[in-house]
């Protein structure tokens, strides 16, 4: 089974397109998503109902589709970080990173010695249950495990340059809804303060040669973001794609099915039905 290198993916100049999973954990999801040709899946533990066991199952399903898993733990606590990696996450997208010190703490929790302090458990999910020389396994994990820092607070924007400078941070990702709320302009993505904040994050990513990411609810929005300089684009999420497709389909059916003509019978008026 292929071992993915998300650090290499995020360091590349190519467009990286992903999809988020917040709701569904069917064994077939990985293969279904793979058919769309995505580069990674953003698997959420912060806002979903996924616990550690469900996340482990989801990652196993993504592996059937040969898709790398970028997991968002619920916090930056050591056990949340290390366990997400132990169950097979190829990278982490960490919420509300606000300072250089916090980014360094996350890197330390993610990386094995001498780069960090992550505890060692071998031949489990993170290394595909495959035996190997310990020194080689640990070094390889340090080289491939990626860190995406979510910049979604005023502090994160103020310290974006220092966060981007931390060795081990591979991508700055603007959490646009939380950032707008932190700025006091909930959901106002055209507000001058929001635009000023995003420009600061873009400058930091460019200065330190880090990838720049954001989620978009639609394809047109993602294309517009790419033109602005974002190279890691996450297209919507499982429940929203399903929900919108269902809404559109039901709406189209109701719109296209006009009321039937009625006819008068000896017993009154009744509606004509197919086959009657």
Residue 33 contacts residue 19 (beta carbons within 8 Å): yes
The string of pLDDT tens digits covering residues 147-195 is 999 999 999 999 999 999 999 999 999 999 999 999 999 999 999 999 9
Answer whether the bond into residue 114 is a cis peptide, omega within 30°.
Answer: yes
Of the pLDDT bands very low, low, confident and very high (cuts 50, 70, 90), residue 112 is very high
Record the pTM: 0.91
Asked whether residue 203 carries a pLDDT value surpassing 90, the answer given is yes
Residue 274 pLDDT class (50, 70, 90 cuts)? very low
41 has which bridge partners?
Answer: 19, 69
Asked whether 55 and 85 are in contact (CB, 8 A), the reply is: no
pLDDT over 80 (residue 271)? no
Residue ranges of domains in the chain: 6-271
Q: Are 233 and 16 in contact (CB under 8 A)?
A: yes
CATH architecture assignment, domain 6-271: Alpha-Beta Barrel (3.20)
> What is the chain's alpha carbon radius of gyration, rounded to the nearest angstrom?
23
Q: What does the mean pLDDT of the chain come to?
A: 94
Whole-angstrom CA distances from 21 to 29, 122, 128, 197 are 9, 27, 22, 27
User: Which residues have a catalytic role annotated?
Assistant: 47
Kind and range of the H or E element at 138?
helix 134-144
């Amino acid at each position: 089974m292929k071992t993915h290198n998300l650090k290499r993916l995020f360091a590349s100049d190519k467009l990286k397109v992903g999809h988020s999973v917040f709701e569904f954990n069917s064994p077939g999801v990985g293969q279904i998503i793979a058919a769309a040709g995505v580069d990674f899946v953003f698997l959420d533990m912060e806002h979903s109902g996924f616990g550690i066991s469900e996340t482990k199952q989801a990652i196993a399903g993504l592996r059937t589709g040969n898709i790398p898993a970028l997991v968002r733990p619920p916090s930056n606590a050591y056990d949340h970080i290390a366990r997400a990696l132990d169950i097979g996450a190829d990278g982490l997208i960490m919420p509300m990173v606000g300072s250089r010190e916090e980014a360094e703490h996350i890197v330390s929790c993610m990386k094995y010695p001498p780069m960090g302090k992550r505890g060692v458990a071998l031949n489990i999910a993170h290394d595909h249950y495959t035996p190997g020389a310990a020194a080689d396994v640990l070094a390889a994990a340090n080289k491939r495990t990626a860190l995406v820092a979510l910049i979604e607070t005023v502090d994160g924007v103020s310290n974006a340059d220092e966060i981007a400078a931390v060795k081990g941070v591979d991508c700055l990702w603007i959490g646009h809804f939380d950032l707008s709320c932190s700025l006091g302009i909930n959901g106002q993505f055209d507000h001058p303060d929001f635009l000023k904040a995003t420009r600061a994050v873009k400058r930091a990513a460019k200065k330190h040669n880090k990838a720049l990411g954001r989620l978009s609810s639609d394809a047109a929005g993602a294309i517009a973001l790419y033109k602005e300089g974002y190279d890691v684009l996450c297209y919507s999420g499982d429940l929203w794609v399903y929900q919108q497709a269902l809404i559109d389909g039901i709406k189209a059916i109701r719109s296209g099915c006009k009321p039937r003509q009625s006819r008068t019978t000896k017993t009154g008026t009744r509606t004509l039905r197919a086959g009657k």
